[in-house]
Structure 1
Amino acid sequence: MARTASALHILVKHKELADDIMAKLKKGAKFDVLAKQHSSCPSGKKGGSLGEFKQGQMVPQFDKVCFSGELITPHLVKTKFGWHVVKILYRT
């Protein structure tokens, strides 16, 4: 079972914007560019990079996707902070 993961994310308040970002990613838009433009999280300035984190360190919904979701494929996750577009880079 994975103990650490690395992910990028874009945090927005509204599902409509999250859906729009997902659509742009499917058309080939760069994740880091969209993160800098739209993310309300401080990580947006770093292209959405959260670096490496341990399982259980993030809120449960986010954690579940990061440790069970498909790598590289963007995922949409709702948490108490808003809507996250998450791209899992790797797990160890």
Structure 2
Amino acid sequence: MAHTASALHILVKHKEQAEDIIKQLNKGAKFHVLAKKYSSCPSGKKGGSLGEFRKGTMVPQFDKVVFTKEVLTPHLVKTKFGWHVIKTLYRT
């Protein structure tokens, strides 16, 4: 069972925009470029990087995606902050 993970994310207000970002990523767009362009989170300036964090640090919906879904695949999740496109880089 993983205790820490590293992830990138892009935070936007609307589901349609998040879905469009995933389409762009699936067509080969670079995550860090889209994060700088669209993310409303301060991490956007760092290409969406959240660095390494422990399980339980993020809100539950976010944590669940990072610690259970496929790695290196963009996933969509809604939290109290908005819509996130999350890409988990690794788990340890």
Report the TM-score when normalising by structure 1: 0.99
Superposition CA RMSD, Å: 0.3
Aligned residue pairs, count:
92
1:29 is matched with which residue?
29
- Aligned amino acid, residue 32 of structure 1: H
Separation of aligned partners in 2, 1:28 and 1:73: 12
Where do 5+ consecutive residues of structure 2 fail to align? none
Structure 1: 4+ residue segments shifted above 3 A: none
Following superposition, the deviation at residue 32 of structure 1 comes to: 0.2
1:9 is matched with which residue?
9
Correspondence 1:36-51 to 2 at 5 A: 36-51=36-51
Instruction: Provide the secondary structure at the position in 2 that maps to 1:70.
Output: coil
Percent identical residues: 78
Report the TM-score when normalising by structure 2: 0.99
Offset from partner CA, 1:18-40 (integer Å, 9 cap, x none): 01100000000000000000000
Where do 5+ consecutive residues of structure 1 fail to align? none
